Amino acid sequence: MFCTLDAQTKKYHTNGKLQSVGFYNELKQKSGEWKYYWITGGLHSIVSYKKGFKTDWKHYDTNGKLRESGKYIKGKKDGEWKYYNLEGELNKIGTYKNGQIEGVWKTFYKGELTSLKKYKESKKEGEWKWYRNGKTHQIQHWVSGKPDGVEKWFHENGNLGMIHHYNNGTPIGEYKAYYNSGKIKEIRTFEDGKIIAIKSFYENGFLSATKQLLKNKKIQAKSFYDNGRLGSIAYIENFRGWQPIGTHKHYHQNGKLYYKVKNSYTKITKTKGYYANGKRKFKGYKIMIEHDGNYNMEATGKWKFYQKNGKLDRIEHWEDGKLMSTENK
C-alpha cells in the first residue's frame, strides 16, 4: 500500500508496518534519503539517491546493528566499504572501483587484524597475508587471480609449517611441510602441475610412507615403521588415497612377512598371514566391496586362524565383510 504526503512516499508491509519512506524528484526518480524497514518494524537500511542512483548505503540487521556501509557512483559500488559482525564490530574493510573489488582489503576479529588481501579488477593480486595472535600465519602471492610465486604457512611458534611454489596457477617443484619442531614432515614433488612423488616422515627423521609414480604409470606405495623398517608395499590408484590394487604385502618389524593379499575388483582372492616367527597366523578370502563410493577388500567365505605353535585355533565364516559364525577348536 502506498501513501503520498507533501511529495514524501511511504510503502507498507502486508502487516501494516512501514516498509519504506522517501522522496521522488520531478522525473519520478528516487532522490535524497530513503529509509527501509524490516517487516518486524526495525530499520533495514538507509540509502541516499541522486537522480535515481544510489550514492550512500547503510544496512542494519534485525537487532538494529549496522552490518555494512559504503558509497555508490552511478549505481555501482565505489570507494571504501565497511562490514560489521553480529556484535557490531568491524570485521572487513576495503575499496571498490566502478563496481569491482580493488586495492587492499583487511579483515578483523575482535579488533585484531586477521588478513591483508589485494585485488585488481576483482581478481586476487599481489601478496596476501593472514595473521594469528598478531603474528604472520600464512603468505600467498597472486597474479591476475592465479597463485604465482611462493606460498608459506607458519606454526604458532613462528616456525615454518609449509612452503610451496606456483607458476601462473600451476604448482611446481617441491611442496614441503614441517612439524612444529621445525623437522620435515612431508615432501611432495610436482611435474607439469601433477604430483609424481610423496615422502612422509616421522618426527624422528625416519620415513613413514612414500608414494612414487613409476615409469609404467603405476603408483608404488610403501609404509615404514618408526625405526625405518619396511612395513608394507602396495600399488595404488591415485595419490589421494591408499586403496591398493594388485598384490599388497605387509611386514612385521623384524622383516618377516605378516600378510599378503592380491586385490581385485572382480575376483575373490586368497590372503595369508604369518606370525613374526614365520608360522601361519591365518588364511582366508577377500572380495572388493563398495561402500558409499569407496572400495575396500573385505573378508568373505571360510577363514582359518592358527596359534603361534601352528595348531588350528578357530574357523570363521564371513559373508561380504560380515562375520556370520565362529567355530572354536
Report which residue type is found at 299.
A
The pLDDT-based confidence of 2 (bands split at 50, 70, 90) is: very low
**Distance in angstroms (rounded) separating the CA atoms of residues 34 and 20:** 7
State how far the Cα of 171 lies from the Cα of 195, in Å rounded to an integer.
Answer: 9
d(CA 6, CA 94): 39
Burial label, 125 (beta-carbon count in 10 A; 0-12, 13-18, 19+): buried
Q: What is the pLDDT of residues 145-177, one digit of tens each?
A: 999 999 999 999 999 999 999 999 999 999 999
Look at residue 274 and tell me whether its pLDDT is greater than 70: yes
Q: What are the Cα distances from residue 223, in Å, to 231, 232, 277, 301?
A: 5, 5, 21, 29
Comparison of pLDDT for 271 and 185, the residue scoring more: 185
Nearest Cα neighbor of 174 from 162, 182, 183 is 162
Average pLDDT over the chain reads: 92
pLDDT at 218: 84
- The b/e string for 61-76 (b: 16+ C-beta within 10 A; e otherwise) is beeeebbebbbbbeee
Domains of the chain: 43-277 (3.90.930.1)
Residues in a beta bridge with 209:
200, 223
Grid cell in block for residue 174: 617441491
Q: Is the pTM of this model over 0.75?
A: yes
Task: Summarize pLDDT for 19-52 with one digit per residue, the tens.
Answer: 999 999 988 899 999 999 999 999 999 999 999 9
Name the pLDDT band for 4 (thresholds 50, 70, 90). very low
In Å, how far from its chain's centre is CA 255? 38
Q: What is the pLDDT of residue 294?
A: 75
